[in-house]
Amino acid sequence: MLIRTEHPPSVSELEMITRQLGRAPRGTESVAAVDGDGTPLVLRMAPIVGEAPFPTLYWLCSERLKVAISHLEAAGVIKQLEQQLAEDADFLAAYHQSHRDYVTARWAWMSEAQRADVARRGYTHVLTERGIGGITNWNRVRCLHTQYAHHLGSHNAIGQWLDDVHQLHDCLP
């Protein structure tokens, strides 16, 4: 079960996230989704992490989902998706809308101080023009992990396809 949420991670959630990632998280602004047991699945990230733009608004932290998606990537699913995007104008339009929604949400989540910092550093174009996972070519699929994290945190055409075709949502308790 997926529960979308928006809250700063608690101490116990930070401990879980650290175990999931194998390191302490950096740049986490909130927990964006948890499973039915309350385990964090997706984090919403700061626009600047370590003095550089962080291209991923939503970060997948679930070990189960990361492994399942890695298997799909290794099996060539990205090439399959890109072929389908090239052949299906409606799917491509929905995917482009996912990118637009992502860019809009990323900018909307920023505080005025964060927007000013992004502008001062010269990164406005990076965070207002690049799509999911920082991708510049919106006809390509870079990483299923970022696509699915966006899907769980909001909605995403590729993430929905992963649920419909590969039942990724079945990995959730």
Domain that holds residue 59: 2-171
Q: Which pLDDT does position 172 carry in this prediction?
A: 79
Residue 173 has pLDDT above 90, yes or no: no
Radius of gyration of the chain (CA): 16
| Residues 21, 18: Cα–Cα separation, whole Å | 5
Among residues 112, 143, 106, 108, the alpha carbon closest in space to that of 126 is found at: 106
Q: Which pLDDT does position 169 carry in this prediction?
A: 81
Q: Which pLDDT does position 55 carry in this prediction?
A: 82
Q: Give how many domains the chain has, as a whole number.
A: 1
The 10s digit of each residue's pLDDT in 27-85 is 999 999 999 999 999 999 999 898 888 889 999 999 999 999 999 999 999 999 999 99
Contact in structure between 103 and 129 (CB atoms under 8 Å): yes
Q: Which pLDDT does position 65 carry in this prediction?
A: 94
What residues pair up with 39 in beta bridges, in sequence order? none
Q: Which pLDDT does position 39 carry in this prediction?
A: 93
pTM for the structure as a whole: 0.93
